[in-house]
Amino acid sequence: MPTASERARDEKDLWAQFAVRWDRTSVPDLWVDRPPAEKSVVLFHDPEADLDKRAKRWGYRLPDHDLSSLATYAAGLAEAEESGWASDQPDVATRAYEDRRFLLSDRIIHWAVPWLDTVGRCYPGHRAEAHADRDMLLALGDEARVAPALPGTEGIHAVDEDSFGPLEVPDSPEPIRSLWSGALILDATVRSLASATGYVEPSDEDLAFLFEASSARWKGLGTRHPGSAQLWFDLSARAARTAQRLNSS
């Protein structure tokens, strides 16, 4: 059985390889569509100040807040944990692990898994690596138990909120383009719907079908991945509500 130091070393390698695959120089086409950053995927939440503050505690400066940079930061935290165990500094190792778990649970997995899932569906050239890395994040989430499903939610979230935040998507010209609606719609998604229907813009009926399919997919993901299940059950409920609104419009 691997030691804590060996597990940290292995995770460091996973994050380092992940960072290279999703660097903007490796997949420039995706930056034209929807850059892999929480700010561009969620739209109504900007975590950059918090990320910078947390990285600064380790004497590290994030060059930006894209997925590749966050993965590089996670690799650095795993290296700090590995070094802490190897040098008999359990306090450093434990703090590095806890900060990496927070990074995964609160700053990466909830938006990066949907982004990777959607990229794999909409961009066949990136499908293999996108879905492999989606599954890597889910496996890490299962191991760390970042958001397990709980039998009740009272007292866990504020009223009218779930694990993503407020249930109502903030007022915006493009609320459906936010992940808070329950699905991630890329430009490639719209092109695919237009190609299938012959219309430049997808109808509410077409979009409702997309959200219904997304709701079922997130629910299945929650069933298969108990360590992050609450995220996917909440996203499933959001997608179902959006579909219902579109069908009644």
If asked whether residues 40 and 94 sit together in one domain, one would say yes
If asked whether residues 118 and 232 sit together in one domain, one would say no
Reply yes or no on whether the pLDDT at 156 is more than 70.
no
If asked whether residues 123 and 23 sit together in one domain, one would say yes
pLDDT mean over 136-150: 95
Question: Is 26 contained in some domain?
Answer: yes
Cβ neighbours around 6 below 10 Å, total: 13
Please spell the DSSP secondary structure of 95-161, one letter per residue: HHHHHHHHHHHHHTHHHHHHHHHHHHHH-GGGHHHHHHHHHHHHHHHHHHTSS---S--TTTS-TTE
If asked whether residues 168 and 238 sit together in one domain, one would say yes
Closest C-alpha among 145, 14, 129 to residue 74: 14
Point out the domain boundary residue: 110, 128, 146. 128
Question: Is 141 contained in some domain?
Answer: no
If asked whether residues 165 and 93 sit together in one domain, one would say no
C-alpha angle 213-147-164 in degrees, rounded to nearest 5: 60
pTM greater than 0.85: yes
Residue type for 61, please?
R
Question: What is the number of structural domains in the chain?
Answer: 2
If asked whether residues 114 and 165 sit together in one domain, one would say no
Tell me whether residue 111 is exposed, middle or buried, using C-beta atoms within 10 angstroms of its C-beta: 0 to 12, 13 to 18, 19 or more.
buried
Question: Is 142 contained in some domain?
Answer: no
Confidence at residue 166, expressed as pLDDT on a 0 to 100 scale: 84
Confidence at residue 82, expressed as pLDDT on a 0 to 100 scale: 97
Reply yes or no on whether the pLDDT at 155 is more than 60.
no
Question: Is 140 contained in some domain?
Answer: no
Confidence at residue 135, expressed as pLDDT on a 0 to 100 scale: 98
Range of the domain at 192: 161-248
3-state secondary structure of 220: helix
Which strand (E) or helix (H) includes residue 199?
none
Q: Tens of pLDDT along 3-13? A: 999 999 999 99
Which strand (E) or helix (H) includes residue 167?
none
If asked whether residues 25 and 78 sit together in one domain, one would say yes
If asked whether residues 90 and 43 sit together in one domain, one would say yes
pLDDT mean over 182-207: 82
Residues present in the chain in total? 249
Q: Tens of pLDDT along 186-197? A: 999 888 877 766
**β-pair partners for 166:** 161
If asked whether residues 188 and 97 sit together in one domain, one would say no
If asked whether residues 171 and 90 sit together in one domain, one would say no
pLDDT mean over 25-44: 93
Q: Tens of pLDDT along 67-125? A: 999 999 999 999 999 999 999 999 999 999 999 999 999 999 999 999 999 999 999 99
Q: How far apart are CA 16 and CA 132, in angstroms?
A: 15
Question: Is 136 contained in some domain?
Answer: no
Confidence at residue 199, expressed as pLDDT on a 0 to 100 scale: 65
Question: Is 146 contained in some domain?
Answer: no
pLDDT band of 1, cuts 50, 70, 90: confident
Point out the domain boundary residue: 128, 152, 186. 128
Cα of 42 vs its chain's centroid, Å: 10
Confidence at residue 91, expressed as pLDDT on a 0 to 100 scale: 97
Reply yes or no on whether the pLDDT at 154 is more than 70.
no
pLDDT mean over 197-225: 90
Question: Is 143 contained in some domain?
Answer: no
Q: How far apart are CA 149 and CA 157, in angstroms?
A: 13
Question: Is 135 contained in some domain?
Answer: no
SS3 string, 29-64, reads HHHHHCCCCHHHHHCCCCCHHHHHHHHHCCCCCCCC
pLDDT band of 198, cuts 50, 70, 90: low
Point out the domain boundary residue: 128, 146, 179. 128
If asked whether residues 119 and 177 sit together in one domain, one would say no
pLDDT mean over 157-184: 80
If asked whether residues 124 and 168 sit together in one domain, one would say no
Q: What percent of the chain has pLDDT over 70?
A: 93
Q: What percent of the chain has pLDDT over 90?
A: 77
